């Protein structure tokens, strides 16, 4: 059974940086889509970034492009999200997600129905 465990959340001032990590157990050698979503207080969950674990494809929402970088270490089954120049609107619970099937993320990367596995989330608080 695939399990995802996020870490790295915390409190930071606007303009600061954080790096989130997601360890994917039992996901070794799978070439699927892995992504980061977030949910702010009283808001719907939204896609932030995604990466194809079998190649170099990367996807970003317009709100984070240029500030966030998604990367992966396949040797350690770990997905990262480097977040720079954080803004108050970036606050929320960040979730790691992964697909069960193999294949690139494609244009559906930002739909949560694409993903079969979810982590418990890690809180990010950005203060002004």
3-state secondary structure of 77: coil
Which pLDDT band, with edges at 50, 70 and 90, does 74 fall under?
A: confident
Q: How confident is the model at residue 27 (pLDDT cuts 50, 70, 90)?
A: confident
Confidence bin at 33 (pLDDT 50/70/90): very high
Q: What is the pLDDT of residues 103-123, one digit of tens each?
A: 889 889 999 999 999 999 999
Tokens 């739909």, residue located? 111
């Amino acid at each position: 059974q695939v399990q995802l465990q996020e870490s790295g959340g915390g409190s930071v001032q606007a303009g600061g940086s954080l790096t989130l990590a997601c360890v994917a157990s039992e996901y070794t050698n799978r070439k699927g889509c892995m992504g980061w979503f977030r949910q702010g207080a009283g808001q719907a969950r939204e896609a932030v970034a995604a990466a194809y674990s079998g190649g170099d494809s990367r996807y970003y929402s317009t709100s984070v492009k240029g500030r966030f970088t998604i990367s992966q270490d396949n040797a350690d089954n770990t997905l990262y999200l480097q977040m720079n120049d954080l803004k108050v609107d970036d606050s929320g619970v960040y979730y790691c997600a992964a697909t069960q099937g193999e294949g690139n993320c494609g244009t559906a990367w930002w739909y949560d129905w694409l993903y079969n596995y979810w982590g418990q989330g890690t809180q990010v608080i950005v203060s002004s």
